[in-house]
Amino acid sequence: MLILSESWQAAHPEAHIGILTMRRVATPEHAPALDERKEALEARLREQFSGQTRSAIKALPTIQAYTDYYKKFRKTYHVQHQLESVALKGRDIPRTAALVEAMFMAELENLLLTAGHNLDAVRQPVTVRSAEGTERYTGMSGQELLLKAGDMFIADVEGVLSSIIYGPARRTRIGPETRNVLFTVYAPAGITAEDVDKHLQSIRDYVHLVAPDAEVEELSVYGAGSRD
């Protein structure tokens, strides 16, 4: 499903991209089985980091890999802040559509950056690229965004689907009508293919709590120059 552009392979030779497509999903506002698992995840994270500080989270190898990437663009990794909010400040994982919650939960569990899309709104083929700094798209907030040169992004034939720095596009957002879904995972240098594969399986398992009959169409990890 994913085309690896030469620009991406040259600029990010140690990076990986994960792809998970699932069909026959559902997007209820609440899913009791997922809510139960979410409470268990919150408790586990709070126990894991009990008595620790932000420095302990910042020192995690996965967080460091993203921090190194974001520093190039003078940005900070938002998943780190979300983990701090839940694990250190005792806040709950934000309640949203169950399918989106499943993605957020996997992000907090594995700390890998993920974007979710309504697959039926995606116009294939899909390509991963390195930005020239001229590409524009409308983000989730409705604001027009200009990509930063060198940032990794994924696009279909109509334009940008998501980028690391600015996140997913509004036009392919997951909504109540979503029945087929695409999740993409960005893994910069320092994150292994095995890490990405584990994360994709976590998302799959959480989605199955929401939609037990959902079918996996593709679960793949791509590295520069090859398909892992």
Output the tens digit of pLDDT for each of the chain's 228 residues. 799 999 999 999 999 999 999 999 988 878 999 999 999 999 999 999 999 999 999 999 999 999 999 999 999 999 999 999 999 999 999 888 899 999 999 999 999 999 999 999 999 999 999 999 999 999 999 999 999 999 999 999 999 999 999 999 999 999 999 999 999 999 999 999 999 999 999 999 999 999 999 999 999 999 986 544
Full residue range of the structural domain in which residue 134 is found: 2-29+96-227
Beta-bridge partners for 160: 155
- The pLDDT score that the predictor gives to residue 227 is 45
Does the residue 40 lie in any domain?
no
Please tell me the total count of domains within the chain: 1
Nearest Cα to Cα of residue 226 among 34, 11, 14, 7: 14
In a domain, 70, yes or no: no
The answer to whether the beta carbons of residues 227 and 98 sit under 8 Å apart is no
Q: What is the pLDDT of residue 228?
A: 41
CATH of the domain at 153: 3.50.40.10
Q: Quote the pLDDT of residue 225.
A: 61
- Which residue reads 């839940």 in tokens? 86
- Give the C-alpha separation, 13 to 131, whole Å: 15
Stated pTM of the model: 0.95
Q: For position 47, what pLDDT does the model report?
A: 96
Please report whether residue 116 resides in a domain.
yes
User: What's the CA dihedral at 64, 66, 101, 25 to 10 degrees?
Assistant: -130
Residue 15 within any structural domain of the chain: yes
Task: Write down the pLDDT at residue 30.
Answer: 81
C-beta of residue 168 within 8 angstroms of C-beta of residue 191: no
**Is residue 42 assigned to a domain?**
no
Neighbour-count burial for 114-153, b at 16+ CB within 10 Å, e otherwise: bbbbbbebbeeebbbbbbeeebebebeeeeebebbebbbb
Res 224: pLDDT:
82
d(CA 102, CA 69): 25
